[in-house]
Amino acid sequence: MALLEVEGLTARYGKLQVLHGIDLSVDEGEKVTLLGPNGAGKTSLLCALSRTVVCGGKVSFDGRSLGRRDASSVARLGIGHVPAGRGTFVDLTVLENLRLGQLGRARSTAGNRQGDLDLVFATFPILADFRERMAGQLSGGQQQMLAIGRALLGRPRVLLLDEPSLGLAPLVVRDLFVSLARLQSEWGLSLLLAEQNARLALDLADRAYVLAGGRVVLSGPTAAISSADLHAAYFAGHPAPSASRNEIASEASRD
Amino acid sequence: MTEFVQQLLGGFATGSVYALLALSLSVIYSGTGILNFAQGAMAVVSAFICLTLATDGWSLWLAIPVVIALSAIMGAVVERILVKPVEGQPPLALFTVTAALLLGIGGLVSIIWDNEQHAFASPFGSEAVHLGPIVLTAQQLGSTGVAVVVMVAVAVFFRYTDLGLCMRAVAINAPSAVLLGIRPGILIAAGWALAAGVGAVAGIMAAPTLSVSSNMMDGPLLLALAAAALGGFGSRVGAVMGGLTIGVLDALTGRYIPGLSGDLSIMLPFAVIWVVLMVRPLGVFGQASAVRA
């Protein structure tokens, strides 16, 4: 049985419905990515899972339904959510931000907390160097690492990551994804990643769901998804601009 | 010159009461975005309870901590029962609730106690203290000292305790705090409890000078609002600096500007608020909303 089991998930902002019945699952130890164009519903899906948007449908975590739990109680259950745009506490120091990640957690000993903090500093060494600096003074990439580190300290079983590459330079994104690859083994968690950078996300993840218009239009192991499949899913109904089918097929090997 | 220093120190003494009240306002404001116009009225209740206990024979040094603790509990209860239901509503609804609280508490005080003025003996005694040529009452020195201790305690609470850290986080970015598993509801109630406790100290420290009555804190609340505007709503440092400044300004303008002593001195807080809005609306220490995506 999957760690996270989602059936018929819907979500709305006021009267606007943005998710129209999503089925999805994440197994223990898996890395799953959500892809799709802007407005497809990737962020809404993650928000529906963390209960920060009005939603319906069935979500089971570790065999138990989430029911009508509110957002902070879902977080304490073990679903960590790093929102798009980082959400760091800009007027607090790096260390204070990290400490807050630990305070929300249900049970932990002082020894565990120090050990976890050391592990975060090992995963993201730059945070150790800047521990007394105000979070608002860090660069975008550093704030992203801080937001992830802060969520990790809650020891989630599933980490929901919303567009970590947003607004970051390509080199920074590449380094970030190297860290993400190690997260699952270092922290023993499953990953659900929403990303615009399809190539890096497909390289990282085991399985992918492609969303468009609030629905899943493609899903399966990442190894079996080609550029052509992606293109068809993203731009359903809009033909490829001037690229021949042969060119798309040769891109499918993804160097 | 002596006169000037005398007025200055007297101004600090009264200013410390405004600073405490402004601190209460800023704690609630930064946690919830609500300006609690009933903060003064809540302090009046605390002063009356203290008066009743003292009249019943309690030692003031026992009564005061008990009243502070009781006030903190009442603050949390008020928040849970009256304020929580209007969470997330537009500002007009929030303002209406605190205005209703202000009127309601005033009425309650009239019923439970009365509309008279009651003398309140200073817990510091009635001697005068001579510091060279300057003469201050024990009440002035004592109340300033207590106020400073409370301000330092609040600063330590926010800087070094986990609960204080959580409250600061919720004030900066509540949605992020929720995603970390922090329960904002409890923290907001704690903020009201802290504000009510600090307000209780303000009321009790002001009681010997102002006499205890149902409208004793009306003037101080106005000055505290001016102080918070000057210092920046939501800034604790600003509230304290603003309170002390307003206290000193009040003393100096009352003494040195002819015609502005007595009842007309109430012009001062309005003038200060007006100037702040014209020159720097955020206040000296205020910051634009720090919630960044």
Mean local confidence (pLDDT), B2-28: 91
At a CB cut-off of 8 Å and minimum separation 6, what does B134 contact?
B2, B5, B6, B9
Note the pLDDT tens digit of each residue in B143-187: 999 999 999 999 999 999 999 999 999 888 889 999 999 988 889
Q: Chain A residues with CB inside 8 Å of B292's CB? A: 85, 90, 136
Residues of A in Cβ contact (< 8 Å) with B172 = 89-92
Beta strand pairing status for A31-35 and A190-194?
A: parallel
C-alpha B63/C-alpha B48 separation (Å) is 11
Sign of CA dihedral B146, B38, B230, B23: positive
CB contact under 8 A, A72 and B169: no
* CB-CB neighbors (< 8 A) of B183 in chain A: 72
Residue whose pair of structure tokens reads 């994804």 in the numeric block: A177
Tens of pLDDT along B212-234?
A: 998 899 989 999 999 999 998 88
Residues A186-228: tens digit of each pLDDT: 888 899 999 988 889 999 999 999 998 899 988 999 888 888 8
Q: Are A128 and A121 in contact (CB under 8 A)?
A: yes
Arithmetic mean of pLDDT, B12-40: 91
B175: nearest CB among A76, A87, A105: A87
% pLDDT > 90, chain B:
50
Q: Is A16 helix (H, G, I), strand (E, B) or coil?
A: strand
Q: Is residue A5 predicted with pLDDT exceeding 70?
A: yes
Contact B292 A136 (CB under 8 A): yes
Point out the residue among A87, A101, A104 whose CB comes nearest to the CB of B173. Answer: A87
Nearest chain B CA: its distance from A171 CA (Å):
22
* pTM of the entire predicted model: 0.85
Encode pLDDT of A223-254 as tens digits.
888 888 888 887 765 554 544 555 545 555 54
Chosen for mutation from B167, B176, B285 (greatest number of chain A CBs closer than 10 Å) is: B176
Smallest CA–CA distance from B162 into chain A, residue:
A103
Yes or no, beta carbons of B182 and A100 under 8 Å apart: yes
Q: Is the pLDDT of residue B284 over 90?
A: no
Instruction: Compute the 3-state secondary structure of chain A and give helix, strand, coil in percent, each to the nearest 5.
Output: 40, 25, 35
Residues of B in contact with A104 (CB under 8 A): 177, 180-182
Is B159 an interface residue toward A (CB < 8 Å)? no
Residue A85 confidence class, pLDDT cut points 50, 70, 90: confident
Instruction: Encode pLDDT of A127-181 as tens digits.
Output: 999 999 999 999 989 999 999 999 999 989 999 999 999 888 999 899 899 888 8
Query: What tens digit of pLDDT does each residue of A88-112 get?
Result: 999 899 999 999 999 887 666 677 8
> Is the C-alpha dihedral spanning B167, A142, A131, A82 positive or negative?
positive
- How far is B168 from chain A, CA to nearest CA, in Å? 8
How many residue pairs from chains A and B have C-beta atoms closer than 8 A? 81
A183-189 LR contacts (CB < 8 Å, sep 24+): A183/A123, A183/A148, A183/A152, A183/A159, A184/A29, A184/A31, A186/A119, A186/A122, A186/A123, A187/A119, A187/A152, A187/A155, A188/A29, A189/A80, A189/A152, A189/A156, A189/A157, A189/A158, A189/A159
Which pLDDT does position A67 carry in this prediction?
A: 83
**How sure is the predictor about B290, in pLDDT bands with cuts at 50, 70 and 90?**
very low
B37 in the Ramachandran plot: left (φ > 0), alpha (ψ -120 to 50) or beta? alpha
Q: Give the pLDDT score at B151.
A: 94
